[in-house]
Amino acid sequence: MTDNTHIPLHTDIAICGAGPVGVTLAALLIKRGVAPDRIALIDGKTIDQARLDPRAIALSYGSRQILEDVRAWPLAATAIHQIHVSRRGHFGRTLIERADYQIPALGYVCRYGDLITTLTALPELHGITLLRPVQVSASNEQSDGVTITLSDGRVLRSKIMVQAEGGLFGAQTNKELQRDYDQIAIVAHVQTSAPVPHRAFERFTDQGPLALLPQDDGYALVWCVRPDNAAKLLTLPDELFLKALENAFGGRVGHFIRMSSRNSFPLGLNAHPASSVHTVAIGNAAQTLHPVAGQGLNLGLRDAAVLAKLLAQEVSPLTLEKFSNSRKTDRSMTIHMTDLMARVFASAPQGALSQTLLGLSLGLVDAIKPAKNMLAEQMMFGRR
């Protein structure tokens, strides 16, 4: 994949966003027969900025299958063999194990930068028009396509525009699907005295979900708390922060002993997957989810897989309509699952009867095999 200083006057498919979802879409299109010179990738970051991004991301087993399809696997990642879901301070838990589904792993934890490095190195991507670092400043639809104006003044004409980068390209929002969770996610890498190899934890507290994802010699931490508590936690010395984390999580992995630097970001639901005649949104451009259950990127990769299959058959407005209709069920189920988990488990104070009942419900899910299988299969594969 090379940067091009000359923009073709016309292309078939312009992909706005060269993150994992956008690049995977491009690779899948080529695999399915679309010529590389008919695809343009636009991104606001340099390739070095993307490759050095240290964020931890969770990939489902279904996402591994999609990446295998474009030869972007194996990847430097830590396998998840078990997922332990529980409510802090209440009886009841669900344990999902790979052995029950006869697969090598339920999912994987990798770094964003490692995934981008692997994807952008795919030889199939040579010949694609790559425009970076530049942003889309305006887009205007005509009867036969879209005119895209870039921040450096260049103009691109395309039959179809795919918005694959959330928050950068002005996608319309559907206020009915917006929600502020009044939570802040604190993320870091932590080490413990007694880690459980290849086991991920999703621990619900009265502040919000607390996830430990196995990564390298420790865990990727995603701790969701209310803003006032986040402000206090972010200013604590490492030793006191680790004590607070241990108090919130419990002793299932021993003591928390070391950590990396901390980062934070506000949480909300912003789902706006509507498409127009020549434009469609996928990934975070279509839906930004709460990180509970780690479904955001996986839902986006499923978007890319379905859209690539359809666009390889025909690049037309009818294809975008088919795509939107085909993705309704998976998107709706994933959005409502993560929204429910984010809200209900943190909607009442610790000790409330509702929280006791929710803790018991986790035990029931574990005991009722069809319910457990439905949860596991949605997390691993969604509805492609």
Is there a domain that residue 260 lies in?
A: yes
Residue keyed to tokens 């670092």: 133
For 15-43, the pLDDT digits (tens) are: 999 999 999 999 999 999 999 999 999 99
CA distance 80 to 220: 12
Partner residues linked to 17 by β-bridges: none
Give the pLDDT confidence score for residue 377 in this predicted structure. Answer: 63
Strands, DSSP E only, in the chain?
Answer: 2-3, 10-16, 39-42, 56-60, 78-80, 82-87, 93-97, 107-111, 129-131, 136-142, 145-150, 155-163, 178-192, 199-204, 209-215, 218-225, 256-259, 263-271, 279-281, 287-288
The H or E element containing residue 344 is helix 328-344
Q: Does 263 share its domain with 275?
A: no
For 167-207, the pLDDT digits (tens) are: 433 334 444 466 667 889 999 999 999 999 999 998 888 88
Is there a domain that residue 167 lies in?
A: yes
Helix, strand, coil abundance in the chain, percent, nearest 5: 40, 30, 30
- What sign does the CA torsion over 362, 367, 371, 372 have? positive
Is there a domain that residue 311 lies in?
A: yes
Q: Does 137 share its domain with 223?
A: no
Q: Does 170 share its domain with 203?
A: no
Is there a domain that residue 341 lies in?
A: no
CB 327 within 8 A of CB 381: no
Is there a domain that residue 240 lies in?
A: yes
Q: Does 88 share its domain with 115?
A: no
State the amino acid at position 85 in one-letter form.
V
Q: Does 154 share its domain with 242?
A: no
Is there a domain that residue 85 lies in?
A: yes
**Mean pLDDT, the chain, integer:** 84
Position 252 pLDDT exceeds 80? yes
Is there a domain that residue 342 lies in?
A: no
Measuring CA to CA, which residue among 378, 227, 230 is closest to residue 293? 378
Q: Does 197 share its domain with 314?
A: no
Q: Does 115 share its domain with 231?
A: no
Question: Would you state the torsion angle of the CA atoms of residues 366, 216, 254, 55, taken in this order, to the nearest 10 degrees?
Answer: -80
Q: Does 169 share its domain with 119?
A: yes
Q: Where are the alpha helices (DSSP H) in 1-135?
A: 20-31, 47-51, 61-69, 112-120
Q: What is the CATH number for 227?
A: 3.30.9.10
Residue keyed to tokens 């997957």: 273
Structural domain range at position 90: 79-106+182-267+347-380
Q: Does 42 share its domain with 120?
A: yes
Give how many domains the chain has, as a whole number.
2
For 144-157, the pLDDT digits (tens) are: 999 999 998 899 99
Q: pLDDT category, 331, cuts 50, 70, 90?
A: confident
Q: Does 261 share its domain with 274?
A: no
Q: Does 300 share its domain with 167?
A: yes
CA distance 160 to 163: 10
Q: Does 153 share its domain with 262?
A: no
Predicted TM-score (pTM) of this structure: 0.86
CA distance 309 to 324: 13
Check residue 8 and report its DSSP letter.
P
Position 166 pLDDT exceeds 80? no
Q: What is the CATH number for 158?
A: 3.50.50.60
Is there a domain that residue 332 lies in?
A: yes
